[in-house]
Amino acid sequence: MHKFVDTHTHLFVEEFDTDRDAAVERAVVAGVTRLCLPCINITSIEPIKAMCEKYKGVCYPMIGLHPTDVKEDYKSQLSQMRSMLAGDNSFIAVGEVGLDFYWDTTYRQQQFDALEEQIAWAREFDLPLVIHSRSASDELYEVMDKHSGESLRGIFHCFSGDADEARRLLSLDGFMLGIGGTLTYKKSILPSVLREAVPLERIVLETDSPYLAPVPFRGRRNESAYVPQIAEFLSEIYNVSDKYIAEVTTANAESVFTKMIQL
């Protein structure tokens, strides 16, 4: 069986309250043997840590403040997270962090401030960044380009841009593109973008479950067990075997999440 890493799955959220154990078991049976859990806000940390305690060697925690959760109390949340990060060696990444101007720009400047602080954590603790971006690609690139000489690494989660955007992001050494279920959608431009501009050595797999389920599960709740469906589409795009996709994307994930293979 091929072994995969789901680099981005929200298995701790309420959508899995009725069958969380079964969802983890289905993932492992499908060969998705390591599951990386991105943090959304301060209240995410307890359920994430509980999952990682229960499924040691399968689930791995991140810590960070999602840009849509940057509100009036963002400084307090960041302060608490910084203390947790300093006192807990189990976090494998700072994430998910970033910029999101799709729904609301009320806290636009605060999103920039929060991102800068969390980039500083990544440097201080030698952790990768898992970065969310929506309706903010130019602004995000400007921020990240300022830090391009600082030996940062990470993942641009749920990449869905065009070839020019892919090239721009991949000009930042040490960063991968997270590819998930949207790759499989009929109107997706991702297949042509990947062929044109993205080496397989710069891709990691993700589900972003419970969101964005791949074909043939589109419209249902997504889960980590569906990673092989994404790999199957990638094997057709790159004209290589599913086994090769598994090997390369797993190696890519390990190169980003170096602490994951140490724990």
Q: In the chain, how many domains are there?
A: 1
Q: What does the pLDDT read at residue 261? A: 82
Cβ 33 vs Cβ 254: under 8 Å: no
DSSP one-letter code for 209: B
Beta-bridge mates of residue 186 = none
Single-letter amino acid code for the residue at 207: T
Q: Which residues of the chain have pLDDT under 50?
A: none
CA atoms of 96 and 40, how far apart (whole Å): 7
- CATH label of the domain that carries residue 123: 3.20.20.140
Which residue range(s) make up the domain with 235?
4-261
Among residues 27, 7, 17, the alpha carbon closest in space to that of 50 is found at 17
Q: Which helix (H) or strand (E) holds 48?
A: helix 45-54
Q: Give the per-residue pLDDT at 76.
A: 97
Most distant CA pair in the chain, distance? 49
> Looking at residue 251, what DSSP letter applies?
H
The pLDDT score that the predictor gives to residue 1 is 75
Q: Whole-structure pTM over 0.95, yes or no? A: yes
Count of Cβ atoms closer than 10 Å to residue 151 Cβ: 11
